[in-house]
Structure 1
Amino acid sequence: MALKPEPTAPFHSVQYALRVLETVSRHGGGVTDVQIARETGLPVGHLAHLLRMLSREGYVEQVTDGAYVVGESLILLGASGPDRQAAIENKLQRTLDALRDSIGAAIYVSRYIDGEIKIMQYADGPRTPKVNEWFDFRSAGHAMAVGKCLLTQLDHNGRRDHLSRHKTVRLTSRTTTNEKVLFNKLDSQPATVPVLDLQEYAVGTVCAAVPITAGESVGCLALSLPVEHAHRLRHAAYTLNREAAPVLLSLTL
C-alpha cells in the first residue's frame, strides 16, 4: 500500500514533541526550558506551547526549580509487554475523553489496517452520542468523514483496491456514488483541512475527520454531532485538528 507523501500539521507538532522528550530523557536530573530550546533548536514561543501540552498529558513534569523531568505517562509507555499496550490504550482513552468534553462531540480514532477501515477507540456520552452503525463502517468509506480521510492518505491504486472491494452504494440522498467524482474530491482535499460528512452516511448526523499519520501508518481522528449542532461542525473540526497532536503522540511513542 503506497501513501501520499504530504505530512500533516499534527505530524510536525509530534516530531517537535519527540525532540523535546528525547532531550528531557537525556537529562535525568532535570533540564530547563532554556537548555531544551538550545538543544532542540525550537523557538521559545513554540517550545512553551509544546511543554504545556506535554505537561498536561503527563509526559513531562516540572519540578521545584523549574526544570523539566520525565513524567509518569512517558514512564508507563516505556514499559514492555502487555503493560505497555494497556498503558497506551488507557492514555489514549483519557485523551479522547478530554477531547469529547472540551469539544462537545463524540470522538473517534480510526486506522486503515490490512485494507480495512477500523474504529480503534472512541469516546461518547449521553450528550455526545456516537454514530449509529446502521451500515457496516468498513463498507461506507466513500460516505464517512473517517473513510474519506483515510482514503485521501492512500495513493490512486490503494483507493482503487479499496473501492473494488467496497462499492460506493447510496446511503443517503447526499452520498457521492460516482467514483470519478469521489476521486476528484479526495485529490482536491487539502492535507491540513478537515474532511466533512454532511449527512452522507446517516441522516441526522454530521462528522469531521483529520489525518493523524506518521510513517507507514494511516489513521485519523474524527468527531460526530447530531445535525441540530451542524452550525458547530467547522469550528469543532478545526479545534480537533489543533488538538490532534496528543493523540498522534500516544500512537507514536
Structure 2
Amino acid sequence: MAGSTNAAPTLIGSVQRALRLLEAAGAHPDGAPAKQLARAAGIPLPTAYHLLRTLTHEDYLRREKGLFALGAAVGRLAIGGTVQNRRTTLEDLLAHWRDTIGVPVYCAVYREDEIELVAVADTPHAPAVTEWADFRETGHAHALGQCLLSQLDERARRDHLDRHPVQPVTPHSVRDRRTLLERLSCVGRPEVVVERQEYAIGTVCAAIPVTAGSAAATVAISLPLHQEERLLPAVEQLRHGVGGLLGSLAFSISI
C-alpha cells in the first residue's frame, strides 16, 4: 500500500551468502574445502566458488592447499571492535569520576613521541578547559603535559623539548627550558603534578600518572581559580579511584 512504513527491507542475496561462507569458515580454524563450506552455508557449489574467490582476493579468507580459512581482514574487523569497546570503557570511567567528583576529567598518553589527549569528560556546569593552544606543543605549560614529560627518561624529555621549545603561554607559565627540567626532575613517579594558570588564566589543574602498558599516561582534573581549595582533595579522590580501577584504565588506554 502506498505510504506504508512496514515494507520489507531490501536484502542483497550475495552479501548474505558471503557472510554465511565466512561463518562456515570460522567454524573450521584449520580450514575447510570449498565443497564443505558450500554445504554448510547451503549455497550451490558454483556460486560458492565465485564468492570464495572474491573473499580470498579481499583477504577475508586465505587459501592454503585447497582449504579456506579466515583471513587477516576479519582480524582487523575484530580489532576495530575491540578498540571501540576500549574507548567506550575509558569514556565510561572518566564520566564516572566526573560525576562522582564534580569536575572535568581528562586522560592523555605519550604516544609516538607526542602528547595525545585521548578523552575528556565534562558537563555544561563543569566545562573542560578550551584547547586554545595546541596541547602537543604546550606540554610544558599544562598539568597533563608536565605529568607525561616527568615520566619520560632524560633523553626522551630533551628530545621532546627540542621539537616543542618552552615558551611562556601565560604570565604564570614556566619561563625557560632549564627551569622546566629542574621542576620535572623533582617530580616523583606517584606524585600529583599541579599547575596554576600556566596554560589558561583563571584555571588550576592537577594530574596523576597512570600505567598504560609501556606508554606514559595521565589522568587530570581542572577547576576555576576561585575553587582552587577543591583541587587537591578532588585529585586525591581521583587517585584513590584510579588505584581501585587501574587494571581497567590501563587496558582502556593502551590502544
- Structure 1 and Structure 2 fold alike (TM over 0.5): yes
Task: Please give the secondary structure, in 1, of the residue aligned with 2:218.
Answer: strand
Q: Structure 1, residues 62-92: CA drift from partner, whole Å, max 9, x if none?
A: xxxxxxxxxxxxxxxxx94322222111111
Q: Which amino acid aligns with 2:196?
A: L
- Per-residue deviation, 1:120: 0.5
User: Aligned to 2:110, which of 105, 108, 112?
Assistant: 112
User: In the TM superposition, what is the alpha-carbon distance from 1:251 to its structure 2 partner?
Assistant: 3.0
User: Structure 2: which 5+ residue stretches go unaligned?
Assistant: 1-76
In 1, Cα distance between equivalents of 2:150 and 2:79: 33
Equivalent position amino acid for 2:218 in 1: C
- TM-score, length of structure 1 as denominator length: 0.66
Q: Identity of aligned pairs, percent?
A: 37
Greater relative contact order (Cα < 8 A, sep 6+): 1
What's the secondary structure of 1:109's corresponding residue? strand
Q: Distance in 2 between matches of 1:114 and 1:84?
A: 21
Cα–Cα, structure 1 residues 248 and 209, in superposed 2: closer, same or farther, change >3 Å?
farther
State the partner residue of 2:44: none
**Aligned counterparts of 1:248 and 1:228: Cα–Cα separation in 2:** 34
| Structure 1 residue 214, shift from structure 2 partner | 4.2
Write out aligned runs for 1:70-219 (5 A).
80-219=78-217
Pairwise CA RMSD of aligned residues? 1.7
**Displacement after TM superposition at 1:247 (Å):** 5.3
Equivalent position amino acid for 1:113 in 2: R
> Does the CA-based 8 Å contact 2:211-2:246 persist in structure 1?
no
The structure with more radius of gyration = 2
Aligned residue identity for 1:110: A
Q: What is the CA distance between 1:100 and its match in structure 2?
A: 0.4
Residue 249 of structure 1 deviates from its aligned partner by 2.2
Asked if the contact 2:105/2:122 (under 8 Å) is kept, the reply is yes
Equivalent residues of 1:88, 1:250 under 8 A apart: no
In the TM superposition, what whole-angstrom CA distance separates every residue of 1:16-59 from its partner, at most 9, and x where no partner exists? xxxxxxxxxxxxxxxxxxxxxxxxxxxxxxxxxxxxxxxxxxxx
Structure 2 counterpart of 1:251, which letter? A
Q: How far apart in 2 are the matches of 1:211 and 1:232? A: 20
Q: Identify unmatched segments of 5+ residues in structure 1.
A: 1-78
Q: How far did residue 248 of structure 1 move?
A: 5.0
Match in the other structure for 1:234: 232
Does the 8 A contact of 2:211 with 2:250 survive in 1? no
- SS at structure 2 position matched to 1:191: coil
Separation of aligned partners in 2, 1:235 and 1:179: 30
1:90 and 1:167 mapped to 2: Cα distance?
34
Q: Match of 1:81, SS?
A: helix
Amino acid at match of 1:220: T
Q: Is the 8 A contact 1:95 1:247 kept in 2?
A: no
Distance in 1, matches of 2:114 and 2:247, equals: 20
- Structure 2 vs 1, CA of residues 89 and 252 (structure 1 numbering), >3 Å: closer, same or farther? same
Q: Which residue of the partner structure matches residue 68 of structure 2? A: none
